Amino acid sequence: MNHALRLLAALLLAPLAALHAADTPAKKSNVLFIAVDDLRPQMGCYGDPDAITPHMDKLAGRGTVFERAYCQQAVCNPSRASLMTGLRPDTLRVWDLKTHFRKNQPEVVTLPQHFKNHGYHTECIGKIYHDPRSFRDPASWSIEEKLAFTDEVGGKYVLEENLKAYDPAKGRQKAAATECADVPDNAYIDGQVADAAVESLRDLAARQQPFFLAVGFRRPHLPFSAPQKYWDMQKPERIGRVPNPLPPVDVPQIALHNWQELRGYSDIPALGPLTPEQVVHLRHGYYAAMSYTDAQIGRVLAELDRAGLRESTVICLWGDHGWHLGEHGLWGKTTNFELDTHSPLIIAVPGQAAAGSRSQSLAEFVDVYPTLVELCNLPPPARLEGTSLVPVLRDPLQTVKTAAFSQFPRAMDGKQLMGYSVRTDRYRLTRWVHQDDLSKVYAVELYDYQTDPQENINIANHPANAGLLARLTAQFDAGRRGAAKKGNP
């Protein structure tokens, strides 16, 4: 009897002990892993009073909002590959949209694969890895991915890219950058992803096996397509103005781009500025798409609760990188600026003492892998380049590192360059160097967020900052050697 009582107490207290780190072998924590494409930290829980995101805001109330989380490279494939492997882009040698992470690291054990190897049922619904069919990764999943590729959705996906521009003989063609249609939520792909996730949770609730369920939503990625009701929720007069539309003073040209992604749509000029009406409409579309995806996330979270899984499931929600909505004269991602590298990250753990907390601790996407492994009491893999954020989940005032690192490649003047960026508590230093010789510096940027929170003045060339620049460069070099943890320079 005493043994039985002790076992029952252990099972009841496991979710509370060390944030699920003490789960018994008989009852491991589940993981609901939610990815959102091109979601910048613009939700209500990140302080935007005009964002209509009640479901993500409610999730934030259950867990910890990481207010300063950063992706490793602000474009889909490298960012996702880095997060899912716990390795940085340079280690993976993945810097573009074409290279599968297994090309250069064939034996790498991905985050879901590690859970699968330790007895979990792992499942992918929607976009988790990069989209093309060649980016499948069967080793990660217990069953084949569902709705991971748009061309598997049948005729319904056509609406998402605008029916009028679809030519079956040519396949998918970019059409308008936005779409507002009076259709049900599952006329678009994210509604179908939510449908499938709800159905999967019903099945998983009946299993005796712990699960890692990855659910990937495409909006608010372009095109900004959402049912009309989500457009009607917004107030364009409030969200249509760009707060800082000019490039930073003294910014090197290499730091900018011509927003090629957006210009690929049929209603966007190939060159030159947008009209004021286009600016308002695009920003309206982004907010509408964000609200649409929020509603789908709400459906998945509601099913988790209905199925009685909330108290046994760790929830991790992340956006793969940020996005410019006209700020600095930019549209899209693919820079080292704050608005592109800064990404949302919310982690909620049952029984979390600091539920509803916000943390200013610097965090990186390579930290997600070791964090979830520790939360679920799994043995850590032999090779990870991130740091567990569990201390921050226990105490949001804790810090685990002094800097976050991002990068982005560029071709300029016939040279292949890489911009390496280090974000500290106060500053961002970006050094554009030659990829064949990292000692050759092409350009430097330095921003002080205490005096310039919108990153509008590059102060790297100010003589008075020579000492600061030297100190940050040393920190930059230390970080490139993997020494960015707390306590290191």
Residue 428 sits at the vertex; the CA angle it makes with 466 and 374, to the nearest 5 degrees, is 135
**Alpha-carbon gap, residue 322 to 74, rounded angstroms:** 7
Lowest mean pLDDT among 159-163, 208-212, 313-317: 159-163
CA distance to 102, 331, 412, 456, per residue, from 418 (Å): 22, 21, 10, 22
Q: Is there a domain that residue 486 lies in?
A: no
pLDDT for the residue 206:
95
Q: What is the enclosing helix (H) or strand (E) of 293?
A: helix 276-306
User: 45, 76, 180, 376: which is the annotated catalytic residue?
Assistant: 76
Active site residue 118: no
Report helix angle 368-375 to 76-85, nearest 10.
30
Are 40 and 80 within one domain? yes
Are 229 and 164 within one domain? yes
The yes-or-no verdict on residue 154 having pLDDT over 60 is: no
Are residues 157 and 151 in contact, defined by beta-carbon separation less than 8 angstroms?
yes
Q: Is there a domain that residue 7 lies in?
A: no
Active site residue 121: no
Q: Is there a domain that residue 8 lies in?
A: no
438: containing domain: 405-480
Domain's final residue, options 370, 402, 434? 402
Q: Is there a domain that residue 111 lies in?
A: yes
Are 317 and 199 within one domain? yes
Region class of 222: left (phi > 0), else alpha (psi between -120 and 50), else beta = beta
CATH number at residue 473: 3.30.1120.10
User: 114, 121, 130, 257: which is the annotated catalytic residue?
Assistant: 130
Domain count, the chain: 2
- Residue 481 pLDDT level (bands cut at 50, 70, 90): low
Q: Is there a domain that residue 3 lies in?
A: no
Provide φ and ψ at 436, rounded to 5°: -85, -10
Share of the chain above pLDDT 70, in %: 87
Average confidence (pLDDT) over 167-172 = 46
User: Which is nearest to 46 in space by CA: 408, 319, 445?
Assistant: 319
Q: Is there a domain that residue 217 lies in?
A: yes
Q: Is there a domain that residue 152 lies in?
A: yes
CATH number at residue 135: 3.40.720.10
pLDDT digits (tens, 9 = 90+) for 43-76: 999 999 999 999 999 999 999 999 999 999 999 9
Pairing of strands 324-325, 121-126: unpaired
Are 244 and 357 within one domain? yes
The yes-or-no verdict on residue 459 having pLDDT over 70 is: yes
Report helix angle 276-306 to 189-205, nearest 10.
10
Cα–chain center distance at 373: 18
pLDDT digits (tens, 9 = 90+) for 95-137: 999 999 999 999 999 999 999 999 999 999 999 999 767 788 9
Q: Is there a domain that residue 396 lies in?
A: yes
Are 161 and 250 within one domain? yes
Average confidence (pLDDT) over 265-285 = 96
Are 353 and 246 within one domain? yes
pLDDT digits (tens, 9 = 90+) for 351-391: 998 899 999 999 999 999 999 999 999 999 989 999 999 99
pLDDT digits (tens, 9 = 90+) for 306-338: 999 999 999 999 999 999 999 999 999 999 999
Are 393 and 421 within one domain? no
Here the tokens at position 290 are 């964000």
pLDDT for the residue 69:
98
Are 397 and 453 within one domain? no
Are 396 and 414 within one domain? no
The yes-or-no verdict on residue 8 having pLDDT over 50 is: no
State the burial class of residue 143 (Cβ atoms within 10 Å of its Cβ: 0-12, 13-18, 19+).
exposed
Domain's final residue, options 402, 433, 457? 402
Domain's final residue, options 380, 402, 424? 402
Are 413 and 376 within one domain? no
Are 107 and 119 within one domain? yes
Are 305 and 439 within one domain? no
- Residue 480 pLDDT level (bands cut at 50, 70, 90): low
Share of the chain above pLDDT 90, in %: 81
